[in-house]
Each structure stands twice: as structure tokens, then as C-alpha cells.
Amino acid sequence: MSGRTQASAGDLLELVRSGRATTRGALQQATGLSRATVGQRLDRLFRAGWLREGAGGPVDSPLGGRPSITLEFDDAHAVVLAADLDTRHARAAVLSLTGELLAEHSGTLVIEDGPDAVLGELGRWFAELLEKAGHRAGEVCGIGLAVPGPVDSDSGRVVQPPMMPGWDGYDIRGHLTRSFAEHTGATGVPVLVDNDANLMAYGEQRTSYADCSAFVLVKVSTGIGAGVVVGGSIYRGIDGGAGDIGHIRVGAEALCRCGSYGCLAAVASGGAVARQLAETGVPAASGSDVRDLLTSGHPEAAALARDAGRQVGDVLATVVTLLNPGVLMIAGDLAGTPFLTGVRELLYQRALPRSTAHLDVVTSRLGERAGLVGAGALVVEYLYAPERAEERLAALGV
């Protein structure tokens, strides 16, 4: 940013948050602004409660002198709400601005009941979680929501979601804002919506693999989806359709929920494995049922999960060859040893050795909280990005 004399308070905040410049002197050097101008812009951030002074840094001069005061992002001035919807289950949480879970709730929430019922219930959950966490509704700066379908990030609306009947094109942002206001009295809270695999990938990459410039997460639960993080940002494609690998055709005859035949999700998802088990008399109706059977060591579930892993691994050989990621993470209900073994078998057999030479194939670090962490991070990165930060500072009158 050197030479950019127009650097704003939002730009300075980004430099501090990223760790690239954490003293007044370093900010001057990075931006080319005068000491007085840096001081004026930092004063706006201090008055908003977004920055605080930390401990003194090292003394750079060999002649000694006072240490420079470091600057830190103050995560105590607000909180974020996040929710992660699956087909029959949901999680919700209050998070700090740095991603710490302050309160959490999970329970049954059926996506097929439709957006009115589901979003109305989420508003109630959020109100109860805030009380549990000891925070007021007025402290909430934003809400992040992960959904099991493709999302147009500009509008926050899901686009032809196979697993979300009744949600296509629905105004999720507006309804959840109103539902939250109805239960708490806090109006106008911004809502961001994204695909669940995208947000899981974002949460996992930022938390454990921040240095990985190409990261892929594959979620295998009732359906199959992938999230891709490139250069630290979610890759969504032109309208949110990137990563929808569950609907790649694999030549089978099974009917998929999308209405087509032969999709990967129709033969290798948790829902597909559950259906195969049910046909043999084993009670299973969803990916979560398969997960429970795998946890208990059910041999037939393990065998089918390994077969499913092989089919997914065959598709992932192409994904890995195309994207050349450093990390391929398997997450979701089927992300255990049998499935992972099957993935590895076909992936390393079919992909070029060059594509896998520096590839780590791993399972989730954050587990069922990955979507929540990613949703919270999405909100924070949006609200405190330089241009948006400037708008919010102006609205605060500082």
C-alpha cells in the first residue's frame, strides 16, 4: 500500500487485523500517510471501539528509547451469530469476532418444512443463545448462515437447490433479519448466506491451513458438495455453482434428488448409503444414521462407506488434477476411516503422481463446528473490509 496517500481508516484497520502493520510507525511506512493523518484515522477506529492498544513492541533503534505501542483489533466490541443448516438438523452459535464460540445450540430443524418455519425458529434460537452467552442483541454486528444448496452470493438466495424444496429464490436475508428483530427487537442486522461446504472450507482453511493457497473440502453427508478456497478467498464461480460435485454424472442408473440419473450423490452420498442399508433391512434414513452405524462399527455400513469412498475418489482424481490443491479435506457424516480409505484407493490410482505429490488428504479439524466458524468469519471479513468499514464508521458518526 506504499505510496497510497488516500489510505482510509478502513485500510489501516485491515493492515492491523492482518498483522502487516501493528504500530503507528509501521502504518505510516505502509501507507505513506503523515503521522498526523495516521493519528486522525486511528482515532476514528478507537472511538468506534474497533482498535485497542496492546503491549509495547521491540525497540528498533540501537540507541534505545521507548518501545512502540502495538495496535490490536478489539474483538470485544461486538459478536456474530451463525447457523449451519443440514437437511434435518441445525446448529447455531454466538461467536466472538475472532471466532471463539461463546454459546452453541443444536437440534432438529427440517429443511423441507420450508423457509418460513426454519428461519422463524432460527430467530428464536438466536435470542436464547444471546441470553445464554450474556450478550445483548444490540451487540450483534451480523448473522452468517450456511445452507445445503448453491447460493448466489450477491443476493443471498439459493438457486435451484435439490435438497431444499420451497427455498428457490427465497429472500433468506430479509426473512432472517425480520425474524431476529421479532424475537430481540434489534432491527437491520445484516445477514450473509453461503453454501455449507463453502463455509466449512473457509472455516477449516482459516483455522488450520492459513498458508495453503489452494484448499478443497468435500462434505459427504445426506448429499455431496465441495468448498474451494483459493488465495484465502472462497471460489464460488459466476453464480455460486462451483463445487457442486455431487451432480457430476458417474454413469450409474440411480435417480438423484435433482431429477437426473447417475449423479455421484445418488450413489455415494450418506443418503445413498442409507438407502442401500435400508434395502437390506438395516434401519437408516439419512447420512446421520449412517454416521451412527459407522461409529458403532456396523460391518455392512463400513463396507458400503468404503465403496462410496472409491466412487467419490474417482471423481476427486479429476478435481485434484484440475485444481492442484495442497490440502484435500473430507468432512461430513461419512468422513471416517472406511470412506477415507476408499477415497485414497481411487484418488492415488487415477490422479497423476504430480498432482498428488504434495497433497495432504485429511479429515476435518473443526468437525461439526466448521460451518459455524466459517459463517462467522465470512461476516467479519465482510463487515470489516476497508470500504464497508468506512461506510460503517460514517454511520456511527465517527
**Whether residue 82 has pLDDT greater than 80:** yes
Q: Can you tell me the distance from the alpha carbon of 104 to that of 126, in angstroms, rounded to the nearest whole number?
A: 9
List the beta bridge partners of residue 92.
83, 105
**Whether residue 77 has pLDDT greater than 80:** yes
Q: What is the mean pLDDT of the chain?
A: 94
**Whether residue 60 has pLDDT greater than 70:** no
**Whether residue 56 has pLDDT greater than 70:** no
Contact status, residue 111 vs residue 163, Cβ threshold 8 Å? yes
Contact status, residue 174 vs residue 62, Cβ threshold 8 Å? no
Vertex 143: Cα angle to 390 and 95 (nearest 5): 95
Q: Residue 2: what pLDDT?
A: 43
Q: What is the pTM of this model?
A: 0.93
Q: Residue 114: what pLDDT?
A: 97
pLDDT tens-digit series, residues 340-385: 999 999 999 999 999 999 999 999 999 999 999 999 999 999 999 9
Written as one letter, the residue type at 200 is: M
Q: Residue 68: what pLDDT?
A: 79
240 vs 298 pLDDT, higher one: 298
**Whether residue 120 has pLDDT greater than 70:** yes
In this prediction, residues 142-149 reach a mean pLDDT of 96
**Whether residue 209 has pLDDT greater than 90:** yes
Q: Residue 359: what pLDDT?
A: 97
Vertex 151: Cα angle to 286 and 359 (nearest 5): 70
Percent of the chain with pLDDT over 90: 89
Q: Can you tell me the distance from the alpha carbon of 17 to that of 20, in angstroms, rounded to the nearest whole number?
A: 8
User: Which H or E element spans position 219?
Assistant: strand 214-220
Contact status, residue 379 vs residue 143, Cβ threshold 8 Å? yes
Strands 157-158 and 224-230, how do they pair? Answer: unpaired
What one-character-per-residue DSSP string does 93-160 give? EEEETTS-EEEEEEEE--GGG-HHHHHHHHHHHHHHHHHHHT--GGGEEEEEEEESS-EETTTTEE-S
In this prediction, residues 173-183 reach a mean pLDDT of 97
Among 26-40, 43-57, 87-101, 139-153, whose mean pLDDT is lowest?
43-57
C-alpha 365 chain-centroid distance: 13
Q: Residue 83: what pLDDT?
A: 98
In this prediction, residues 316-325 reach a mean pLDDT of 96
Q: Residue 57: what pLDDT?
A: 56
**Whether residue 63 has pLDDT greater than 90:** no
4 band by pLDDT with thresholds 50, 70 and 90: very low
Contact status, residue 80 vs residue 95, Cβ threshold 8 Å? yes
In this prediction, residues 188-197 reach a mean pLDDT of 97
Whole-number Cα distances in Å, 88 to 81, 143, 205, 288: 20, 21, 26, 9
Q: Residue 3: what pLDDT?
A: 43
In this prediction, residues 106-132 reach a mean pLDDT of 97
pLDDT tens-digit series, residues 233-267: 999 998 888 999 999 999 778 999 888 999 999 99
Written as one letter, the residue type at 378 is: L
Closest CA to 152 of 121, 166, 176, 173: 173
Contact status, residue 128 vs residue 105, Cβ threshold 8 Å? yes
Among 167-176, 247-256, 258-267, 278-287, whose mean pLDDT is lowest?
247-256
